[in-house]
Amino acid sequence: MKTKKEIRELTKAELQIMQLLWKKDQAFVNELIEDLQEPKPAYNTVSTIVRILEKKGFVSHKTFGKSHQYFPIVEREIYLKSYMGNMISSFFSGSVSNMVSFLSKKEGITLKEADEIMEIISKNKK
| Residues of the chain above pLDDT 70, percent | 94
Q: What domains can you pick out in the chain, each with its CATH number?
A: 1-91 (1.10.10.10), 95-126 (no CATH)
Return the pLDDT at 5.
Answer: 52
Q: Cα–Cα distances in Å, from 52 out to 59, 97, 100, 120?
A: 9, 35, 34, 37
pTM over 0.85: no
pLDDT-derived band at 85, boundaries 50, 70, 90? confident
Judge contact between 60 and 54, C-beta under 8 A.
yes
| Mean pLDDT to the nearest integer, 45-51 | 97
